[in-house]
Amino acid sequence: MRHSTDSATARLLRTNWIYFLVGGVLLCALFCMSLFIGKYPLTIDGLLSGNDLQWRVFKTLRLSRTLAGCFGGFALAIAGYIYQTVFRNSLASPDIIGVSSGASAGAAVGILFLGSSVAITLCSFGGAILAVILALAFASIDKSGHKSTVVLAGIAVHSIAQTILMCLKLTADPEKELASIEYWIMGSLNNISSHSMIGNLILCAICVILSCLLHRQTLLLSADEGEAQMLGVNVATTRLIVLALATIMVASIVSMTGLISFVGLVAPHCAKKLTGNNKLSTMLLAGIIGGCLLTAADILARSIAATELPVSIFTSLIGAPFLIYLIAGGKQKL
Amino acid sequence: MSLLTVNNLSSGYGKKQILEDISFSLEAGTLCGIIGANGSGKTTLIKAIGGILPRNGECLIEDKNLSLLSKRDLAKLISMVPQKSGISIDMSVLDVVLMGFNPYLGLLQQPTSDMKVKAARILECLGLTDRIEDNYLHLSEGQKQLCIIARSMITDSKLVIMDEPESALDYSIRYNVMDTIKSTIKDSNRCLLASLHDVNLALNYCDKLLLIKDKCILDIVDLHADSLDVIESKLRKIYGAISVHKIATKSNTEQLIMLKDMEA
C-alpha cells in the first residue's frame, strides 16, 4: 500500500519537475535578457572591462528593475493563487477586497501632496493596507463570518477608493499630476531603484515564505465554512492571516510598480491547468510563471517603442493568449 | 457511561427555531439514525451538535462540554460527513482524505507517510484504491461521497456525524459502505449519528432511531429491545400508513423492511 501511494506521488513529482525545469530555465533566460536590454544597452565585455557608466547603470537601475520584475511577478501570482483558492472564485484578484484601488488612491495622494517617489511608494502601500483593514472591519460587522461578506465589503471599499481617486483626479493639474496618476495606474518598473525596493522585497519575501508554510491551511479554507470548521480550522482567524499575507505581498509590489494587471489572475490558472492540482508545487509554479510574465512584459515595455510603454499592456498581451491556449487543450501538446 | 449526551438542545437559523428541547444519549459502539420528513430538522440537529450552528442546551462527549472546546479539540472528538462537500478546487483524492488529519497536525505541519498509508488503506476498504491520485472533482457524486466518508473515518474521533451519507450511493454500494461503517464503529467503540432517508437501511444497520417531527424528538426506536409492533407503531407517527416486516433473505439472514400500505 505504501508502495502504490509512493509510486503515484513519484509520478506526479516527475511531471511537475519538468514544468519547474522549463519555467526555471525560462525565468533565468529572461532575467539575463532583462539585465542587458534597455535604452542604454549593456554588454558583457563592457561590464568585464570595468566600464564605469555601464556598471553604474547595471547596479543602480537594471539589476533592481530585473529583480523587481522577477520577484514582483512571482509574488503577485502567489497572491492571486491565494485569493482564488480562499474565495473559491477563479476570477478573484487583489481588487476583490479593494487592494489595488486603495493603492491607486494612496498613490494619487502621494503624487498630489508629496511628490517624491519614496512618498508615493509609502502612500500607495498605506492606501492598500488601509483598504483591506476597512474591508475586513466592514466584514466583521456581520457576525456570520461568511466569505461573501468579505467580498461585498471589498466591493464597497473599492467603490469608496475609486470615488476618492476620481475626486483627486479632478483637483490634479492635467499636464503633470493627472498624467503621473494615470501613468502610475497603468504600471511600470521604470522608476525602481535598489535603495527604494529593498524593504519592499524583504517584506514580500517573508510573506511568500509564510504563505508557502500555510499552504495546507489555505486549501482547507477552500472547503465550505462549516466543513472547514469541522476539520478543526479556526476559519475566521486563519482566513484573516492568509489574506493579510497575500495583501501585504500585493501592496509591497504595486506600491513600487503601480498597478500590474493580469499577472495575479493568469499565472495561477496556467499553473493549475498544467499540473491539474493545487499542491504547494502548483503555487510555486504559478509564482515562476508570474515572474516570467512580468519580466517578459517589462522587457517589451522598454524596448518595443521609442518611449517606455505601460507594462500592463504586455502582461495582458502575453498572458491572455497563453491562457486561451491552455484552456483550448494545449496542455497535452506541451 | 454515555458517550454522547444531549440535554435540552435547541437550534435554528437566525431567529427561526428549527429544533426545541432535544434530549437523548448514546452509548459507545452505537449506530443511531435520525429519521424524519424533509425539513423536519435532521440536518439542523447534525450541524448543531457539530457546532456549525449556534445552539442552546448542553452537548457532552464523555462528560466534556462541547461548548467549552476549541475548534481543534472539537474536531478531534467529532468528525463529520456533510450532505455535499464544498470542495471545488482541483485536489487529489488522497489529499482530500488527508484533510481529516488536520486536527492532529500543527499549523505548519504536513501529513506524515504513516498518515498517507492509513488514508490509502481506508480508500482501499471503500473501493477507491485506483482513484487515489485522481482529481477529486473528476469523481462521480457517489465516489466523492465515499471519499468524504473515508475522511471522516480516518481518525479516532469518538463521534462520527453524517448527513445523508447514502444519498449519492447506488443500491449495492450503500450496503457495502454501511457494512464498512458499522464494523469500524463497533470495532473502535465509537458512535455514529447519521440522518438517513432510506428507512430500510436505517432499520437494518442502526441500533437506535431518533424520530424527529414538529421541532422535537417524537420517539426513540430501540431496534434491539422494541418488538416489531412497537417499531411499526412508532414509525407510523412519521410515515402514516406503513407496516414493518421481518423477512428472511436467501442467505438465511433476517432483515427488517418497511412497506407503504397502498390503496387497492
Segment B48-68 mean pLDDT: 92
* pLDDT by 10s per residue, chain A, length 334: 445 555 555 665 666 788 889 999 999 999 999 998 887 778 888 888 878 888 888 888 889 899 999 999 999 999 999 988 988 777 777 767 788 889 889 989 988 988 777 788 889 889 988 988 888 788 777 766 566 777 788 888 889 988 998 999 898 888 788 888 888 888 888 877 777 788 889 999 999 999 999 999 999 998 888 899 999 999 888 988 998 899 889 988 888 888 887 888 889 988 988 888 888 999 999 999 999 999 999 999 988 888 888 888 888 888 778 777 767 765 443 3
- The answer to whether A62 contacts chain B (CB < 8 Å) is no
Calculate the dihedral angle through the C-alpha atoms of A120, A125, A129, A132, rounding to the nearest 10 degrees. Answer: 80
Q: Which residues of B touch A234 (CB under 8 A)?
A: 70-72
Distances (CA, A) of B105 to A91, A289, B47: 31, 31, 24
- Say what the pLDDT of residue A330 is: 52
What is the 8-class DSSP label of residue A193? -
Give residue B84's pLDDT band: very low, low, confident or very high (50, 70, 90).
confident
Average pLDDT rounded to a whole number, residues B130-154 = 91
**What ipTM was estimated for this complex?**
0.87
Of chain B residues 68-127, which have a CB less than 8 A from chain A? 70-72, 74-76, 78-80, 82, 85-92, 94-95, 99-100, 102-103, 105, 107-108, 110, 113, 116-117, 119-121, 124
pLDDT value for A8: 56
Nearest Cα of chain A lies from the Cα of B42 at a distance, in angstroms, of: 16
Q: Are strands B191-195 and B159-163 parallel, antiparallel or unpaired?
A: parallel
- A94-122 tens-digit pLDDT: 767 788 889 889 989 988 988 777 788 88
Distance (Å, whole) CA A151 – CA B95: 27
Q: Which residue has the cell 435540552?
A: B8
Helix (H) or strand (E) holding A45: helix A44-48
Which residues 82-111 of A have a C-beta within 8 angstroms of B?
A: 85, 88
Give the CA distances from residue A263 to residues A36, A165, A286, B241, in Å, rounded to whole numbers and listed in that order. 23, 23, 10, 64
Nearest alpha-carbon partner for B149 in B92, B194, B112, B116: B194
Query: Tens digits of per-residue pLDDT, A259-280?
Result: 887 888 889 988 988 888 888 9
* Residues A154, A157, A158: CA angle, nearest 5 degrees: 85
Location of C-alpha cell 491552455: A326
Residue A273, pLDDT score: 86
Nearest chain B alpha carbon to A238: B107
Cell reading at B77: 472528538
Nearest Cβ partner of B91 from A5, A12, A278? Answer: A278
What is residue A276's predicted lDDT score, i.e. its pLDDT?
83
Q: How far from B18 is each of A145, B45, B54, CA to CA, in Å? A: 21, 9, 12
Paired sense of beta strands B159-163 and B78-81, if any: parallel
Report the Cα A136 to chain-centroid distance in Å: 21
DSSP state, B130? G
| A224 in reach of chain B (CB within 8 A) | yes
Range B89-112 average pLDDT: 92
- CA-wise closest residue to B223 among B255, B194, B259, B252: B255
Cα B69 to Cα B51, B59, B61, B72: the distances in Å are 10, 11, 11, 8
- How far B162 CA sits from the closest chain A CA (Å)? 12
Give the closest-approach CA distance of A121 to chain B in angstroms: 32
> What are the helix (H) ranges across chain A?
2-36, 44-48, 52-57, 63-86, 99-113, 117-141, 147-171, 177-186, 194-213, 215-221, 225-230, 235-257, 263-275, 280-303, 311-327
Give the separation between CA A146 and CA A228, rounded to whole angstroms: 12
- pLDDT score, position A217: 94
